[in-house]
Structure 1
Amino acid sequence: MPAFHQLSRIAVGTAAAAFAAVMFNATPVWAQSSFVGDVNDPVTGWHCVTPFCDTIRMPRTDCMCQKLNPTEKSLSRLRLKCVPPRRDPQNACTLPRGFGG
């Protein structure tokens, strides 16, 4: 009888560990369904790189731009920090007219 109890304790412990591992590695449903990957930023119209569009890609340059004030809805007040790809010079990420900078 004691051997049976020991085996049942091991089985319960193993099942609990497996359940915890599955829950730890599972991506929340809201994170899976909120970002479809082909989304444009509503303020700039540029392609979003991250789910919350706080990093966007400048068209025709491949510059990655991070929004310094991501909740801003006005293009003229939006502040961006842009970084060019390694192959391009630093001035390749000049912001177009109308951007706040």
Structure 2
Amino acid sequence: MGVLGRAELEAMIDEATVDAYGEDEQLTGLFTMIEENLAVPFSTTVLGVEVTVRGIDLAQDGRIVALCSRGPARQKIGILDLPMPTPAPEGSEWIEAYRHWAA
């Protein structure tokens, strides 16, 4: 996946938030696009440890989080803090759109 330009990211944000009023609905729109398009599960490395990303969720504090596991351990990590593997999973461009929107 190549790096998307500002215009592409803003077009994606517009697509995700077309009927949204206010930040909460925009966030829900972006969450929905990530949830529908991000190919899970995938593996990535967090603080030197390989974890499996099994899905995403909308946290109580209004962040989109990745549901990560390693063996029996489970942890939610903010999707914007999650390092993407190379190659990045299909649909990860929606995370970049969310990052651009959140900035």
TM above 0.5, yes or no, is no
Structure whose residues are more often helix by fraction: 2
Structure richer in strand, relative to its length: 2
Q: Which structure's relative contact order is higher, taking Cα pairs within 8 Å and 6+ residues apart?
A: 2
TM, length-normalised to structure 1: 0.28
TM-score (norm 2): 0.27
